[in-house]
Amino acid sequence: MVPFVEPLDDGVRLYFSGRDEAGRSVTGCAEFDPQSPETIEYGPALLGPGRLGAFDDSGAMGSCVVSGGGRRHLYYIGWSRGVSVPFYTFVGCAVSTDDALSFERVSEAPVIERGAHDPFLATSPWVLVEEGRWRLWYASGLGWEAREDGPRHYYNIRFAESEDGISWRRDGHVCIDFGEGEYALARPCVVKDDDRYRMWYSRRGDAYRIGYAESPDGLEWERRDAEAGIDVSPAGWDSEMIEYPCVFEHKGSWFMLYNGNGYGATGIGLAVIDDD
């Protein structure tokens, strides 16, 4: 689940998360050519759960990778199990100096943890580096609601900034807020064009769908969900839900990676823009 990529000379490196025998998230990788996706070469596991008692001892789920300061920064969702609620998530960071062959945590503590503006959880980071400024879009937990079928989490998409990619300033700025019937807005993927920012994200009401928004500055966003370009299929592996999009360009074509039914239980899909 939660696929994302970085470009290679002939293809892309795909990062994704699977689960171990205990159900804990582990970030791994593979390489493939989006123009010919039939062949995929799997690589090793790159980042597993943290030490017992750490914020990520129940899983380390990659969410994006960026380069800066001569290192790759892998931002990930650290999971820990709860008692009164099912889980807690916060944002961790691991770095690589060996061409992404291995990653080492910058700290056993999260880089985005609880705070005045994110009192319950923080998750689903997406980072861009622009002229030395690190910009982060992420999901912020607003609370939990007790329900007969178990606690329900509420989170929307917010913004933070940094000079080094490790220490982040947050003021609670909301980028994407709830629409009618929605309670979870997650996993933004932000692409910078010449004149605008584009965001694809997960939006959840009865079931996850992919939303879309545009912004002139990355801060103030206009939701244009009807232009997301994709919906569930009439039948099959992605007929019930679609979520966790990653949009990228390769050799002049634009692609989207995404998950389908079961939050990734049915695999990762690849879609290509229809020029018609």
Instruction: Tell me the per-residue pLDDT of 138-161, one tens digit each, with 9 for 90 and over.
Output: 999 999 999 998 999 999 999 999
Instruction: Tell me the per-residue pLDDT of 193-243, one tens digit each, with 9 for 90 and over.
Output: 989 999 999 999 999 999 999 999 999 999 999 999 999 999 999 999 999
Collapsed DSSP state (helix, strand, coil) of residue 59: strand
Q: What angle do CA 251, 97, 63 make, to 5 degrees?
A: 60
Cβ atoms 24, 267 nearer than 8 A: no
Largest pairwise CA distance in the chain? 52
Instruction: Tell me the per-residue pLDDT of 111-145, one tens digit each, with 9 for 90 and over.
Output: 999 999 999 999 999 999 998 899 999 999 999 99
Mean predicted confidence (pLDDT) in 179-205: 95
Collapsed DSSP state (helix, strand, coil) of residue 232: coil
In this prediction the pTM is 0.95
CA gap 270, 268 in Å, rounded: 7
Q: Look up the domain containing 138 and give its range.
A: 4-272
Domain count, the chain: 1
pLDDT score for 203: 97
CATH number assigned to the domain comprising residue 197: 2.115.10.20
CA distances from 170 to 108, 116, 152 (A): 21, 9, 25
pLDDT score for 9: 82
Instruction: Tell me the per-residue pLDDT of 10-44, one tens digit each, with 9 for 90 and over.
Output: 889 999 999 988 899 999 999 999 988 888 999 98
